[in-house]
């Protein structure tokens, strides 16, 4: 067990190293990415430009620059932005994290509730009109580009219908901290929550339905039925429980990706300044230190959730442990 | 009917009586994001200059008022504007006594000298291009660590500072008035202060600054108004500048009264809405700012003047104006200097009926020049910025160039990359879409900066002369105008007008339109004041 | 026959003769999948007819700006881009949908171009990129998955390590980073120069990022097959490895790939539209449904149809692909899963 965990940790460090090197190389391969002129300001003289380069270590060989950046990011923690000079990137990411967490956690509650409900309904009424209708709906949910749904939600709630009673409660785009106003927080996030959740409701409901129907064929379910349990009890007490493992696995992976900044498009269209938004902004302004910080942040979540899921599996299923 | 009108007048009068604006309250501003270092000697953005002007003072400053007066340099920490001596190379300033920084330290001769040395030591963007006119400035720009700046002499006993310049410079006072030349406490560290606000002498000081959330300005407790023109006491007690809303969200927030003013331009699809429903909250003011297409005169196809002329005649500037939001916000132009600039004499050779104003594209001439150039079928890549209106201008230009017979493609880049990318001659940019706004209202800030030999640095990211144009004769004329303007501004302006028209005739850039600035404010904001230099002056707004 | 029995009766590898024929028969009986196929065919046909629509119906070049032009609506000549009607004369509004089979049926965008014509042209690119990048993705995934699974050892370790790094890189961040970088100068692979404004760039980027998603299950399948009795038996009989790879393993992998194909096409279409929406995908003058939605963002409150129409086109296409994917999975391999 311990060796599994250690192996995972070594693996994780390796993957993170790979990613940072990849980001670093991608950045320096970009023409016009050299930030010296941008830092120096418009119309700076060549001498000023050269000095700025030296001051920020931009004239050093790439491996040295890489090592310095990693040191300032992980050891001293004082890595600063190329764009907003003097702005430390680590606090920036930590500042954005609650926004993303609020968005993703709320959406997760919604998508779990709805997908379990739809999955159960569809399994209970399998091969009927209700099942087919629900499955078409989930498929539509999976097929909609999230940024487009977000745009349409804005069009309706901020545009034409904003003056009507139906949507006059919708605050302007942007995030309202929970500590500042719990109600405002809820109002600002409810539409983004549903927008983000739609895709996952569809995916999870379909996965759950398939797994429920599969487990309904198993022997122990037949036993339960034979004991005289009602179909509803069989479904919720027994079948659901066994289907839960794959459900939880899936959830762990998706949640990890989203908390790390995977909800970028939703954040951008709704103007929520979370980690995804920060990443997008950093990529737009080619702010390498910020890109580094956000990408590493995102990857840590992906790698961690992968590891957690693997370890969970190892705990549940002894066969995996020895692989 | 008449009685009714009288009643209205009466009611309106009462209304005014109750709603009379008063000092105090909190002014709430909003913008999309932070804008770089918060050090006034480093930051080179309009977003922060607008704030710095209420926090810091130079020896002189631009008058904090509206209209043409706002370009006028007035004495600030100095008691008077000195007449230059020694043929325009010596300026002696007397410090105003009794002024303190927001940390309680007095403003001393030593602080002034320190501030100007610091300017070089922190690599202020224009240290090597503006302030090197001070004797010793060139050495300081090259070796900032050992900067002694012998051309600046302080006399603590008499309270004077004396500048000795290498040559007469008509813009020296303008350059002393911008935030780079702010006077800071003598113990200010000699490195970029980044996110730490530096104490200043202005009416307001920063209580907090965070690139993630914003700026909070409060009244400077050590401030006593000494000149309402240079540094007015200001009306709001507190100014909250919030970062982090998109322009679309800013419009909604100002409409709903959650903020009093937004920094970003109102997005095009909201213009009709605010103009229809919030007409009285919209302010439109002219600014010295234009959009243009620099053409690289060293590489094909635009190393051929006929090819450039073809573009000049073909571009429909009225269409370009539409892309910017219509004639209320932009006006077609063919020349370099914008209408509000001294030395502006309207001139447009590239139109259907050549004369003062542009009227319509002349496709007959454009095709003739195109044919003469022999560049038909040549590939051209247009570099533009990814956001509106640059992207739209690029796409439109592409269809114009294709119609002329080029094989055009367009490449929109992130705005942070584009501006340095198009400057570097190593990137071999043929034509690009860009804009230029004044630092201060002097023609040389457009003509000398954009077209002098000195501004062209091959294979450097900092080469603002994107066309690569260099004509010693025109350079000499511009130098003559700079010197002439010190004593004889009117003759200087005439010379600048001549230079402007000459450069326009060379067809180095296709000028598109000069723009006006639209400000959208909350319903409660009164006394909106627009300075040509700094734009909206937040400290003069009333919100109570 | 119960579902379990059906599963048991299913031919285990190697696929029996008639495996594909059976699958095809099953698919033909799947009415939903057939309907999806028809929808896809209709959409593809409409997009293929884009030039005729532009020439004969819209009478406009959808790639030529028309900022100062006029058109006739309800018998009146109007400006395509007219100043908005307000006291300050602020803003310019493109002509709205006319809802007639003719010029500007869905209105104009901010360049005065016919949205309906652009929608059809954009669809060509969206479909082309989705299918071409899916092909790249499947081929690369098959190669890497086969090599890693079949050869094992260091080959497997290196390939898996690279796949792990790409896998841990959040997929959108990877796509966006690559696009931001490559859009400036294009990319050079050996003698091949891919220009930034060509469609090959988004095809390449979208094609690469999902490789681990397919390569991993392929690798798993190959390992499973390699250890299966019939392969071990073949090895015991002295059959050369390339024959085993070609005859025993490849056909099985192909069925996995076929099941994934429509789902990857759908996923790629969504990804491409997102990149183009962020204006780092398809570059002007080309258009795709994503770029049109992006253009429509700036007109969302005044001319929402510019953003609505391409979105509906994407949803329809992706939905059809997903239904087809379901059908294929049911017909070929009911246990295949794209995620994990």
- Say whether B272 and C63 touch across the interface (CB within 8 A): no
Q: What is the mean pLDDT of residues A213-230?
A: 79
In terms of Cα–Cα distance, which of A109, A97, A124 is closest to A236?
A124
Which residue stretches of B237-336 are H helix?
247-255, 271-277, 305-314, 317-324
CA–CA dist C251, C253 (Å, integer) = 5
* Three-class SS state of A7: helix
Q: Whole-angstrom distance between the N-terminal and C-terminal Cα of chain B?
A: 35
- A189 three-state secondary structure: helix
Q: How far is CA C330 from CA A7, A185, C3, C24, in A?
A: 38, 44, 12, 11
- Nearest Cα to A298, choosing from A250, A259, A268, A251? A259
| Mean pLDDT for the stretch of residues B328-333 | 96
Q: How confident is the model at residue C337 (pLDDT cuts 50, 70, 90)?
A: low
A92 contacts chain B (CB < 8 A): yes
A299–C322 CB contact, under 8 Å: no
Separation in Å, CA C216 to CA A258, B89, C146, C300:
21, 75, 10, 41
pLDDT, average across residues A20-47: 75
Residue A261 confidence (pLDDT) above 50: yes
- B393/C168: higher pLDDT: B393
Neighbours of chain A (3+ CB pairs under 8 A): B, C
Rounded CA-CA distance C231/C245 in Å is 10
User: Tell me, what's the pLDDT at C6?
Assistant: 33
Question: Which of A85-89, A202-206, B195-199 is least confident?
Answer: A85-89
pLDDT at B181: 96
Distance separating alpha carbons of residues B417 and C183, to the nearest angstrom: 12
Answer whether residue B136 shows pLDDT above 90.
yes
Beta-bridge partners for B381: B409
String of b and e for C141-169 (b: at least 16 CB within 10 Å)? bbebbbbbbbeeeeebeebbebbbbbbbb
User: Of B451, B399, B515, nearest to B294 (Cα)?
Assistant: B451
The C-alpha torsion from A267 through A273 and A274 to A275, rounded to 10°, is 100
CB pair distance less than 8 Å for A15 and C181 = no
- Beta carbons of C315 and A143 less than 8 Å apart: yes
Q: Indicate the range of B295-299, B383-387, C19-23, C115-119 predicted with least confidence.
A: C19-23
Contact assignment for C169 to A19 by CB distance below 8 Å: yes
Q: Return the number of CB contacts < 8 Å for B and C.
A: 113
- Closest CA relative to residue C95, chosen from C86, C85, C106, C87: C106
Tell me whether residues C270 and A145 touch, CB distance under 8 A: yes
Mean pLDDT of B400-426: 88
Task: Give yes or no for A127 touching B (CB within 8 A).
Answer: no
Q: What is the ipTM of this complex?
A: 0.88
Sign for the pseudo-dihedral over CA of B299, B303, B304, B309: positive
Q: Give the pLDDT of residue B1.
A: 36
Give the one of B36, B42, B126 whose C-beta lies nearest to A83's C-beta: B36
| Beta-bridge partners for B394 | none
Local confidence band at C231 (pLDDT 50, 70, 90 cut-offs) = confident
Task: Judge contact between B443 and B341, C-beta under 8 A.
Answer: yes
Smallest Cα–Cα separation from B182: which of B70, B43, B295?
A: B43
- Residue C339: per-residue pLDDT: 44
Q: What is the mean pLDDT of the segment spanning A10-20? A: 85
Is the model's pLDDT at B419 over the cut of 90? no
pLDDT digits (tens, 9 = 90+) for B112-135: 999 999 999 988 888 888 999 999
pLDDT digits (tens, 9 = 90+) for C145-203: 999 988 888 999 999 888 888 877 777 777 777 777 776 666 666 666 777 677 888 89
pLDDT at B354 over 60: yes
Overall average pLDDT of the B250-270 stretch: 90
Nearest alpha carbon to residue B273 among C292, A188, C300, C115: C300
- Over chain B, what is the mean pLDDT? 91
Of B338, B302, B384, B297, give the one whose Cα is nearest residue B511.
Answer: B338
* Measured distance CA(A193)–CA(A100) in Å, rounded: 11
Count how many residues are written for chain C. Answer: 340
What's residue A318's pLDDT? 54
Query: Cα–Cα distance between C264 and C16 in angstroms, integer?
Result: 27
Residue contact C180–A286, C-beta within 8 A = yes
> Residue B527: its pLDDT value, please?
95
Please report the pLDDT score of residue C290 as a whole number.
95
d(CA C302, CA B271): 10
Separation of CA C236 from chain center: 43
**pLDDT of B131:** 93
Question: Per-residue pLDDT averaged across B272-296, rounded?
Answer: 94
* Percentage, residues of chain C above pLDDT 90: 36
For chain C, say whether A299 makes contact (Cβ under 8 Å).
Answer: yes
Q: Give CA–CA dist A281/A81, Å, rounded.
A: 12
- The residue that leads in pLDDT, A134 or C254, is A134
C-alpha distances in Å from residue A317, one per residue of A161, A217, A251, A313, C337: 53, 21, 18, 6, 20
**Chain A residues 42-81 with a CB less than 8 Å from chain C:** none
The separation between the first and the last C-alpha atoms of chain C, rounded to the nearest angstrom, is 30
Report DSSP state, residue B353. S
Indicate the burial class of A306 (C-beta count within 10 angstroms; 0-12, 13-18, 19 or more). Answer: buried
Rounded to the nearest 10°, the torsion over CA C123, C128, C131, C134 is: -110
Residue C275: closest CA among chain A residues belongs to which residue?
A: A265
Q: B432 pairs with which residues across the strands?
A: B383
Partner-chain contact B427 A32, CB within 8 Å: yes
Percent of chain B past pLDDT 90, that is, above it, reads 76
- Return the DSSP state at C249: I
Judged by DSSP in three states, B198 sits in: coil
In B19-107 the beta strands, taken as DSSP E runs, fall at: 26-31, 60-62, 73-75, 90-94
Cα–Cα distance measured from residue C308 to residue C326, given in angstroms and rounded to the nearest whole number: 27
**Total Cβ atoms within 10 A of residue B216:** 18
The CA distance from A211 to the nearest CA of chain B, in Å, is 43
Distance from CA of A272 to the nearest CA of B (A): 8
Residues whose CB is less than 8 angstroms from the CB of residue C318 and which lie 6 or more positions away in sequence, other chains included:
A142, A143, A144, A145, C266, C269, C270
Q: What is the pLDDT of residue A320?
A: 47
Q: Kindly determine whether residue A286 and residue B414, on different chains, have CB atoms separated by under 8 Å.
A: yes
The percent of residues in chain C predicted with pLDDT above 70, rounded, is 89
Q: What is the pLDDT, as a whole number, of residue C107?
A: 92
Res. C43 pLDDT band, cuts 50 70 90: very high
Interchain contact, C304 vs A22, CB within 8 Å: no
Q: Does the bond joining A194 to the residue before it have cis omega, within 30 degrees of 0?
A: no
The mean pLDDT value for A104-130 works out to 94
The whole-angstrom distance between C16's CA and the closest CA on chain A is 25
Distance from CA of A49 to the nearest CA of B (A): 8
Contacting residues of B for A273, CB less than 8 Å apart: 244
Handedness of CA A298, A303, A306, A307 (dihedral sign): negative
Contact call for residues C214 and C133 (beta carbons, < 8 A): no
Average pLDDT on B170-195 reads 93
C136 part of contact set with chain B, CB < 8 Å:
no
Q: Is residue B13's pLDDT more than 60?
A: no
Measure the CA–CA gap between B170 and B190, rounded to whole angstroms.
Answer: 29
Instruction: Report the Cα–Cα distance between both ends of chain A, in Å, rounded.
Output: 12
Contacting residues of B for A96, CB less than 8 Å apart: 212
Most A CBs within 10 Å, among C5, C173, C262, C324, to test the A interface: C173
Mean pLDDT along residues B297-307: 96
The average pLDDT across A143-170 equals 87
Residues A321, A117 contacting (CB under 8 angstroms): no
A85/A96 Cα distance (integer angstroms)? 18
| Cα radius of gyration (chain B) | 25
Query: Any residues with CB less than 8 A from the CB of A13 and at least 6 apart, and which?
Result: none
CB of B318 within 8 Å of any CB in chain C?
Answer: yes
């Amino acid at each position: 067990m311990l060796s599994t965990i250690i192996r995972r940790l070594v693996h994780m460090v390796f993957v993170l190293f790979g990613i940072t090197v990849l980001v670093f190389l991608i950045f320096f391969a970009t023409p016009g990415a050299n930030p010296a002129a941008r830092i120096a300001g418009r119309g700076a003289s060549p001498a000023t430009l050269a000095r700025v380069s030296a001051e920020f270590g931009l004239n050093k060989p790439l491996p040295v620059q890489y090592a310095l950046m990693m040191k300032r990011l992980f050891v001293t923690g004082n890595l600063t932005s190329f764009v907003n000079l003097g702005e430390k990137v680590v606090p920036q990411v930590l500042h954005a994290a609650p926004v993303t967490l609020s968005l993703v956690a709320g959406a997760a509650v919604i998508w779990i509730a709805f997908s379990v409900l739809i999955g159960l309904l569809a399994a209970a009424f399998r091969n009927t009109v209700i099942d087919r209708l629900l499955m078409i709906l989930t498929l539509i949910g999976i097929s909609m580009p999230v940024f487009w749904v977000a745009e349409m939600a804005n069009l309706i709630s901020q545009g034409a219908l904003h003056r009507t009673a139906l949507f006059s409660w919708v605050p302007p785009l942007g995030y309202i901290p929970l500590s500042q106003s719990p109600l405002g927080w809820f109002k600002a996030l409810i539409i983004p929550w549903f927008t983000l959740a739609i895709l996952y409701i569809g995916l999870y409901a379909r996965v759950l339905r398939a797994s429920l129907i599969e487990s309904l064929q198993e022997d122990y379910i037949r036993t339960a039925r034979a004991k005289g349990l009602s179909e509803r009890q069989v479904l919720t007490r027994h079948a659901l429980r066994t289907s839960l493992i794959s459900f939880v696995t899936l959830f762990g992976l998706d949640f990890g990706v989203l908390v790390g900044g995977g909800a970028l498009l939703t954040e951008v269209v709704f103007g929520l300044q979370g980690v995804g938004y920060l990443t997008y902004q950093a990529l737009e302004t080619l702010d390498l230190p910020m890109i580094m910080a956000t990408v590493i942040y995102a990857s840590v979540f992906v790698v961690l959730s992968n590891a957690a899921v693997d370890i969970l599996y190892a705990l549940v299923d002894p066969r995996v442990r020895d692989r | 009917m008449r009685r009714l009108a009288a009643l209205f007048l009466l009611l309106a009068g009462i209304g005014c009586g109750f709603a009379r604006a008063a000092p105090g309250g909190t002014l709430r501003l909003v913008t999309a994001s932070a804008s770089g270092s918060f050090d006034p000697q480093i930051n080179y953005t309009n977003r922060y200059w607008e704030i710095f002007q209420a926090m810091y003072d130079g020896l002189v400053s631009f008058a904090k008022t509206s209209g043409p007066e706002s370009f006028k340099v007035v004495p600030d920490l100095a008691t008077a504007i000195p007449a230059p001596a020694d043929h325009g190379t010596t300026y002696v300033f007397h410090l105003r006594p009794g002024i303190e920084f927001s940390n309680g330290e007095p403003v001393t001769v030593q602080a002034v000298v320190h501030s100007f040395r610091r300017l070089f030591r922190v690599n202020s963007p224009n240290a090597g291009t503006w302030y090197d006119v001070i004797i010793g400035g060139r050495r300081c720009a090259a070796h900032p660590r050992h900067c002694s700046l012998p051309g600046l002499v302080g006399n603590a006993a008499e309270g004077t500072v004396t500048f000795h310049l290498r040559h007469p410079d008509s813009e020296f006072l303008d350059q002393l008035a911008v935030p780079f030349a702010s006077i800071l406490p003598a113990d200010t560290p000699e490195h970029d202060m980044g996110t730490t606000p530096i104490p200043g002498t202005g009416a307001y000081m920063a209580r907090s600054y965070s690139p993630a959330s914003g700026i909070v300005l409060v009244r400077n407790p050590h401030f006593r108004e000494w000149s309402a023109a240079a540094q007015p006491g200001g009306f709001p007690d507190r100014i909250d500048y919030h970062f982090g809303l998109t322009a679309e969200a800013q419009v909604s927030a100002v409409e709903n009264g959650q903020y009093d003013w937004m920094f970003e331009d109102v997005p095009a699809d909201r213009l009709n809405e605010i103009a229809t429903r919030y007409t009285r909250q919209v302010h439109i003011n002219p600014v010295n700012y234009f959009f243009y297409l620099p053409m690289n005169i060293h590489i094909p196809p635009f190393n051929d003047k006929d090819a450039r002329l073809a573009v000049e005649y073909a571009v429909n500037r009225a269409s370009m104006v539409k892309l910017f939001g219509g004639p209320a916000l932009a006006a077609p132009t063919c020349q370099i200097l914008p209408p509000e600039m001294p030395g502006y004499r309207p001139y447009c050779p590239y139109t259907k009926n050549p004369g003062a104003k542009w009227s319509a594209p002349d496709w007959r001439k454009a095709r003739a020049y195109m044919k003469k150039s022999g560049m038909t079928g040549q590939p051209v890549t247009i570099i533009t910025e990814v956001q509106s209106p640059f992207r739209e201008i690029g796409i439109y230009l592409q269809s114009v160039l294709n119609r002329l017979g080029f094989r055009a493609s367009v490449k929109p880049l992130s705005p942070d990359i584009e501006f340095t990318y198009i400057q570097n001659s190593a990137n071999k940019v043929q034509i690009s879409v860009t804009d230029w706004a004044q630092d201060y209202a002097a023609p040389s800030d457009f003509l000398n900066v954009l077209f002098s030999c000195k501004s062209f640095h091959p294979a450097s990211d900092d080469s603002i002369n994107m066309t690569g144009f260099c004509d010693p004769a025109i350079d000499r004329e511009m130098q003559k105008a700079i010197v002439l303007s010190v004593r004889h501004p009117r003759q200087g302006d005439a010379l600048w007008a001549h230079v402007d028209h000459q450069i326009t005739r060379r067809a180095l850039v296709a000028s598109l339109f000069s723009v006006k600035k639209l400000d959208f404010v909350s319903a409660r904001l009164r006394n909106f004041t627009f300075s040509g230099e700094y734009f909206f002056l937040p400290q003069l707004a009333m919100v109570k | 026959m119960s579902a379990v029995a059906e599963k048991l009766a299913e031919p285990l590898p190697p696929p029996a003769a008639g495996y594909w024929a059976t699958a095809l028969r099953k698919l033909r009986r799947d009415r939903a999948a057939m309907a999806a196929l028809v929808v896809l065919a209709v959409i593809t046909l409409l997009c293929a007819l884009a030039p005729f629509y532009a020439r004969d119906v819209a009478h406009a070049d959808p790639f030529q700006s028309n900022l100062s032009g006029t058109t006739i609506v309800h018998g009146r000549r109007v400006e395509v881009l007219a100043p908005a009607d307000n006291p300050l004369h602020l803003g310019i509004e493109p002509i709205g949908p006319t809802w007639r089979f003719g010029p500007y049926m869905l209105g104009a965008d901010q360049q005065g171009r016919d949205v309906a014509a652009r929608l059809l042209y954009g669809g060509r690119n969206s479909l082309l990129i989705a299918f071409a990048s899916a092909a790249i993705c499947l081929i690369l995934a098959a190669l890497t998955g086969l090599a890693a699974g079949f050869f094992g050892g260091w080959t497997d370790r290196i390939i898996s390590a690279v796949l792990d790094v790409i896998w841990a890189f959040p997929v959108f961040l990877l796509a966006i980073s690559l696009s931001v970088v490559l859009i400036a100068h294009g990319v050079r692979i050996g003698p091949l120069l891919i220009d930034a404004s060509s469609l090959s760039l988004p095809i390449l980027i979208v094609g690469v990022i999902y490789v681990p998603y397919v390569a991993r299950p392929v690798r798993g399948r190959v390992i499973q097959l390699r250890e299966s009795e019939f392969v071990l038996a073949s090895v015991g009989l002295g059959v050369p490895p390339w024959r085993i790879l070609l005859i025993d393993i490849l056909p099985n992998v192909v069925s996995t790939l076929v099941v994934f194909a429509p789902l990857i096409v759908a996923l790629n279409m969504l990804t491409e539209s997102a990149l183009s929406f962020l204006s780092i995908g398809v570059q002007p003058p080309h258009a795709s449904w994503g770029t049109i939605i992006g253009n429509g963002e700036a007109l969302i409150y005044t001319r929402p149809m510019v953003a609505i129409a391409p979105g509906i086109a994407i949803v329809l296409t992706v939905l059809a692909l997903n239904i087809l994917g379901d059908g294929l999975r049911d017909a070929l391999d009911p246990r295949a899963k794209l995620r994990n």
